[in-house]
Amino acid sequence: EDPPHTKARHEFNRRKVKAGDFQNGRGECASIYLSSEMDWMGDTSDYEGKLCCPKCTTKIGLWKWAGTQCSCGTWVTPAIQVVLSRVDLIYPSSKNNTLLSDTIHSTVNPLAGLYIASGQSS
């Protein structure tokens, strides 16, 4: 995840996260956030917009320069959000059995070949 954020540290009334949610399996991050825009995102001069797969044009996320709230409760500003349910994650072979939060290099949507963690596209 790039940049990392402290889960449920900054709560807002819109989506309150209770203290026990992480122990009960709720309150997990449903998205990953990029630290900067990438070439495949297209024109990002607007205040906010959709992130679409460059191959099939399916919506995979969004960007909002004013920020957005993660499903865990943390406010991320600026927000370049990729929704995990919209992409396939493939971990590097040396890290096959690690958690997403422990993995720096994640490949999303192998069909599109988007290499998001390093800020490169292939």
82 burial (CB, 10 Å; 0-12 / 13-18 / 19+) is buried
pLDDT tens across 3-20, in order? 556 665 555 545 555 554
pLDDT tens across 56-113, in order? 889 999 999 999 988 888 888 889 999 989 988 777 766 545 544 444 334 444 444 4
Query: Is the distance from CB of 61 to CB of 84 less than 8 angstroms?
Result: no
Query: Is the distance from CB of 34 to CB of 80 less than 8 angstroms?
Result: yes
